[in-house]
C-alpha cells in the first residue's frame, strides 16, 4: 500500500514537473514563431516596395497598346507583344548608344578606382603634415553639391591649358567641351562623381590591412610604390570590386556631368532625358516614335496618345537599366562579399 502511494506521488510529481517545463517551452516557441513571421512579413513588404517599379516596368513593356488602361491586364498582359521593345530600341539607337555609354562609363570607372586607391593608400599609410585636414577636405567633397563647382569646371575645360604649354605650341588653348576627355580628366583628377566616397572606402580598407608585410618589404628596400603595386593591390580585390560596381552604376545613371561636358545623344541617359522633355506641339518622343515605326514592318500598331508615349518611355527605361541588372546578377555574390570586407561597414 505504501509502495503504491509512493509510486503515485512520484508519478504526479514528474507529471507536474513536465507540465511546468512544457509551458515555458511552448511559450518560447510561440514567441519565436511570431517573431519569425513578423520578420518574413517585413522582408516581403520591403522587397515589394523595392521591386514594384521594376515589376510594373516589365509588365508595361510587354503590354499591347490596345490593352493600355484595361483592368484585365494590370500585372499580366492579356496580349503580349515585343513591338514596344523594338520601337524603344530604335528610338534610343540602342546598339550604338549602348556601346558608347559602356565604353565611356568603363574608362571613367577605371580612372576613379585607381585615383581613389592611390589617395586612400596615402591617407591610410603615409604620415603627412596636414593629412587629417586634407582628408577632411576630401570628405567635404561628398557634402558639397556638384552644381556649386559647375561654372569653374566649365571655364576650365573651355580654356584648358597645362602650364601654358598648349597655348605656346598651338597659339590657343584647348576646348575640351563636347569630348569624353573632359570626363576622363575629371575622374583622373579626383573630381568625378562621388570621388570622395571612393577615397574614404579605400582608406578604411587599407587601414584594416596588417602592416607586417608592408614593414617587411620596406625593410628589404622596397619603396611605397613597389609595396603598393606588389603587396597592397593583390590584397585589395574586395575594395576594388565594391568601388568599381558603385562607380559604374552611378556614372551609368548620371546625366549631370555628361550633359555639362559631353552633351551628346549617344549617351543613353541624355537621350532618355531628351525624349522625355516637355515641348509644345509634337513632342520629341512622338517624333522619335514616328520615325521608328516608319523603319519597321507596317503591321505595328501606331498610336498618338500620351499613354502610348509613356509606354514607349517605360520600355526605354527598361533597356537602359537592363545592363545594370545583368551585371548585378553576374557579380552579386562577389559584390556582397566585397561590401562586407570593405570600408563601408568598417
Lowest mean pLDDT segment, chosen from 19-33, 43-57, 217-231: 19-33
Question: What's the confidence (pLDDT) of residue 298?
Answer: 58
Output the pLDDT for position 211: 82
CA distances to 13, 18, 20 from 25, in Å: 19, 10, 9
Model confidence over 159-206: pLDDT tens digits? 888 777 777 777 788 888 888 888 898 888 888 888 888 999 898 888
Q: pLDDT-derived band of residue 108, with 50, 70 and 90 as boundaries?
A: very high
Res 234: pLDDT? 84
The average pLDDT across 74-101 equals 85
Q: Give burial (CB, 10 Å; 0-12/13-18/19+) of 303.
A: middle
Short-list 239, 21, 1, CA closest to 119:
239
CATH architecture for the domain at 83-341: Orthogonal Bundle (1.10)
Q: What is the mean pLDDT of residues 303-328?
A: 84
Q: Nearest 5°: phi and psi at 277?
A: -70, 135
List Cα–Cα distances, 201 to 169, 196, 244, in angstroms: 41, 9, 11
- Residue 15: predicted pLDDT: 55
- Exposed e or buried b per residue across 242-280, where buried means at least 16 C-beta atoms within 10 angstroms of its C-beta: bbbbbbbbbbbebeebbebbbeeebbbbbbbeebeeeee
- Average pLDDT of the chain is 80
pLDDT of 279 over the 90 cut: no
pLDDT of residue 301: 57
Instruction: Write out the chain in H/E/C secondary structure.
Output: CHHHHHHHHHHHHHHHHHHHHHHHHHHHHHHHHHHHHHHHHHHHHHHHHHHHHHHHHHHHHCECHHHCCCCCCCCCCCCECCHHHHHHHHHHCHHHHHHHHHHHHHHHHHHHHHHHHHHHHHHHHCCCCCHHHHHHHHHHHHHCCHHHHHHHHHHHHHCECCCCHHHHHHCCCECCCCCHHHHHHHHHCCCCCCHHHHHHHHHHHHHCCCCHHHHHHHHCCCCHHHHHHHHHHHHCHHHHHHHHHHHHHHHHHCCHHHHHHCCCCCCHHHHHHHHHCCCCCCCHHHHHHHHHHCCCCCCCCCCCCHHHHHHHHHHHHHHHHHHHHHHHHHHHHHHHHHHHHCCCCC
**Distance in angstroms (rounded) separating the CA atoms of residues 77 and 68:** 10
Banded pLDDT at 3 (limits 50, 70, 90): very low
For position 341, what pLDDT does the model report? 60
pLDDT band at residue 98, thresholds of 50, 70 and 90? very high
State residue 236's pLDDT score: 84
Note the pLDDT tens digit of each residue in 243-263: 888 899 999 988 888 888 888
Give percent of the chain above pLDDT 90. 10
- Give residue 110's pLDDT band: very low, low, confident or very high (50, 70, 90): very high
For residue 339, the model assigns a pLDDT of: 61
**Burial class (CB within 10 angstroms; exposed 0-12, middle 13-18, buried 19+) of 106:** middle
**Distance (Å, rounded) from C-alpha 85 to C-alpha 61?**
7
Residue 151, pLDDT score: 85
Is residue 88 over pLDDT 90?
no
Q: How far, in whole angstroms, is CA 252 from its chain's centroid?
A: 8
* pLDDT band with cut points at 50, 70 and 90 for residue 90: confident
pLDDT at residue 139 in the model = 85
Structure confidence at residue 8 (pLDDT):
47
Tell me the pLDDT band of 24, cut-offs 50, 70 and 90: confident
Neighbours of 305 (CB within 10 A): 11
Amino acid at each position: 500500500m505504501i509502495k503504491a502511494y509512493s509510486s503515485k506521488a512520484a508519478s504526479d510529481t514528474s507529471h507536474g514537473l513536465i507540465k511546468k517545463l512544457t509551458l515555458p517551452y511552448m511559450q518560447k516557441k510561440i514567441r519565436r514563431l511570431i517573431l519569425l513571421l513578423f520578420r518574413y512579413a517585413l522582408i516581403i513588404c520591403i522587397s515589394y516596395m523595392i521591386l514594384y517599379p521594376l515589376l510594373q516596368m516589365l509588365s508595361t513593356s510587354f503590354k499591347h497598346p490596345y490593352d493600355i488602361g484595361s483592368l484585365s491586364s494590370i500585372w499580366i498582359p492579356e496580349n503580349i507583344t515585343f513591338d514596344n521593345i523594338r520601337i524603344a530600341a530604335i528610338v534610343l539607337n540602342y546598339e550604338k548608344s549602348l556601346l558608347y555609354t559602356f565604353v565611356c562609363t568603363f574608362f571613367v570607372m577605371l580612372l576613379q578606382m585607381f585615383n581613389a586607391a592611390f589617395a586612400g593608400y596615402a591617407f591610410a599609410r603615409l604620415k603627412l603634415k596636414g593629412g587629417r585636414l586634407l582628408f577632411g577636405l576630401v570628405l567635404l567633397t561628398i557634402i558639397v553639391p556638384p552644381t556649386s563647382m559647375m561654372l569653374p569646371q566649365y571655364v576650365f575645360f573651355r580654356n584648358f591649358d597645362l602650364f601654358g604649354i598648349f597655348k605656346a605650341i598651338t597659339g590657343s588653348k584647348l576646348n575640351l567641351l563636347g569630348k569624353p576627355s573632359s570626363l576622363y580628366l575629371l575622374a583622373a583628377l579626383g573630381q568625378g562623381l562621388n570621388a570622395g566616397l571612393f577615397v574614404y572606402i579605400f582608406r578604411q580598407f587599407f587601414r584594416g590591412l596588417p602592416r607586417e608585410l608592408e614593414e617587411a618589404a620596406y625593410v628589404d628596400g622596397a619603396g611605397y610604390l613597389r609595396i603598393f603595386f606588389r603587396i597592397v593591390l593583390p590584397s585589395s580585390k574586395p575594395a576594388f570590386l565594391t568601388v568599381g560596381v558603385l562607380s559604374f552604376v552611378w556614372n551609368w545613371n548620371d546625366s549631370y556631368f555628361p550633359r555639362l561636358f559631353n552633351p551628346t545623344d549617344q549617351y543613353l541617359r541624355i537621350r532618355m532625358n531628351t525624349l522625355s522633355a516637355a515641348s509644345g506641339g509634337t513632342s520629341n518622343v512622338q517624333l522619335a516614335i514616328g520615325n521608328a515605326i516608319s523603319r519597321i514592318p507596317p503591321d505595328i500598331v501606331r498610336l498618338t496618345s500620351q499613354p502610348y508615349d509613356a509606354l514607349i518611355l517605360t520600355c526605354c527605361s527598361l533597356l537602359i537599366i537592363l545592363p545594370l541588372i545583368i551585371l548585378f546578377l553576374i557579380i552579386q555574390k562577389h559584390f556582397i562579399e566585397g561590401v562586407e570586407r570593405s570600408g563601408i561597414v568598417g
